[in-house]
Amino acid sequence: MENRASRGFRAIELRELWAYRELALSLALRDLKVRYKQAVFGVLWAVLQPLLGAFVFTFVFARVADVSSGDIPYMVFAFVGTMAWSYHSSSVTSGTESMVENSLLVTKIYYPKLVSPLASCLTPLVDLAISLVVLAVLLPLYGVRPGLPVLALPLGLALMFVVAFSFALWFSALNVRYRDVRYVVRFGVQIWLFVSPVAYPLQLLDEPWRTVYLLNPVAGVLTLLRWSLLDGPAPTIGTLGSAGVALVVLVTGLAYFQRTERHFADVV
């Protein structure tokens, strides 16, 4: 099949994306197999990574720095943060390189190019699902019982996916033209971790800085997840601002991706 390039901006064809759903799942499964193919612990890494991260944060922030997580046991507070961050960082970094890594597909056949960054955001969902099972074991051990807010968990997970996919769109398109983007993203993700409330509560900040801080979309994701899973502080109007920023990144990312994808086959 020929490699048809789009001309100019066009609306997202959801029917076309759905028609190529098997390709997206195949790419996601391929990435999953590559990730664990030669790993000594295999899928166990999906359990160890957030657990080890939570243990380290508990020692450094709760024990050494004496950071309080309020009424929530710090271990589960940190576990939810590392669980969500692991998904976000993995999706963004792998999504950044998705077009370059699929260069043979890009140059040889036609398919909706959105499938590549989309598949990169699907792969880490397996690790996330495993982490949620581990969390379900940890919660009763630490005496935490989710209340009615747990019904909002799908909303928090959906926002987490949208945020990761939005940035993956931008970075994947930029990385096709500027190959050093991947290195900037890897470094930037490390900095992003510390300016996101992964290991410390947002409530440590006073207004108006707390609202400004929520312009970081990851902060809104963590607020929703901790509220739904740990009965933490409820989302505020600032959380809506976080979701709004995520929407802006998504819309502009889609526009830039579609405007530049017709050149992918020439430069990838």
State pLDDT tens for residues 72-116.
999 999 999 999 999 999 999 999 999 998 888 888 888 889 999
SS3 content of the chain, % helix, strand, coil (to 5): 75, 0, 25
d(CA 23, CA 73): 42
Q: Is 5 among the domain residues?
A: no
**pLDDT category of residue 7 using cuts at 50, 70 and 90:** very low
Q: Is 173 among the domain residues?
A: yes
Position with higher pLDDT, 72 vs 237:
72
Q: Is 222 among the domain residues?
A: yes
pTM: 0.90
Whether residue 98 contacts residue 119, with contact meaning beta carbons closer than 8 Å, is answered with yes
Q: Is 7 among the domain residues?
A: no
Q: Is 4 among the domain residues?
A: no
Q: Is 183 among the domain residues?
A: yes
Residues in contact with 246: Cβ distance below 8 Å, sequence separation at least 6, in sequence order: 159, 162, 163, 166, 217, 220
What are 38's two structure tokens? 């030669």
Q: Is 241 among the domain residues?
A: yes
| Short-list 254, 257, 86, 92, CA closest to 185 | 92
Range of the domain at 89: 14-267
The mean-pLDDT minimum among 14-23, 29-38, 246-255 falls in 29-38
Task: Say what the alpha-carbon torsion angle 107, 125, 18, 164 is, to the nearest 10 degrees.
Answer: -70
Q: Is 40 among the domain residues?
A: yes
pLDDT tens digits for range 36-66: 766 556 667 778 888 999 999 999 998 888 8
DSSP state letters, 69-100: -TTS-HHHHHHHHHHHHHHHHHHHHHHHTHHH
pLDDT(237) > 80 = yes
Whether residue 241 contacts residue 211, with contact meaning beta carbons closer than 8 Å, is answered with yes
Number of domains into which the chain is organized: 1
Whether residue 196 contacts residue 218, with contact meaning beta carbons closer than 8 Å, is answered with yes
**pLDDT category of residue 211 using cuts at 50, 70 and 90:** confident
